[in-house]
């Protein structure tokens, strides 16, 4: 993976059911868009944080994660948000 930083993040809300208690819960997967146009889909929190370089820029990564989750519907894909502020991007 190159050292290039992502420019946008999208969260997708998914649903799971705990086997023992049969309680439903919601979790997120992330998609990252880079400046050269490529996109990486289906990442968990840890993988997305690694590509966002959360170890170097923890506040930026956290703002982006929470912004992507905030602009996500109950289930399904949400809006693309910019890195590092987590503000929604204009639809193209």
Give the global pTM. 0.84
Confidence of residue 92 (pLDDT cuts 50, 70, 90): low
Report CA 72 to chain centroid distance, whole Å: 10
Distances (CA, A) of 46 to 42, 65, 83, 89: 12, 11, 16, 23
Position 80 scores a pLDDT of 94
Q: State the chain's mean pLDDT as an integer.
A: 89
C-alpha neighbours within 13 Å on the C-beta side of residue 60: 17
Q: When comparing pLDDT for 1 and 73, which is higher?
A: 73
DSSP state, 59?
Answer: H
Of the two residues 4 and 41, the one the predictor is more confident about is: 41
Helix, strand, or coil here: 86? coil
């Amino acid at each position: 993976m190159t050292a290039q930083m992502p420019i946008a993040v999208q969260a997708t809300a998914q649903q799971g059911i705990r086997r023992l208690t049969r309680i439903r819960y919601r979790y997120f997967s992330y998609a990252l868009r880079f400046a050269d146009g490529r996109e990486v889909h289906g990442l968990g929190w840890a993988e997305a944080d690694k590509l966002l370089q959360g170890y170097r820029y923890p506040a930026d990564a956290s703002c982006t994660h929470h912004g992507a989750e905030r602009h996500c519907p109950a289930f399904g894909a949400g809006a693309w948000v910019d890195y590092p502020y987590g503000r929604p991007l204009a639809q193209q």
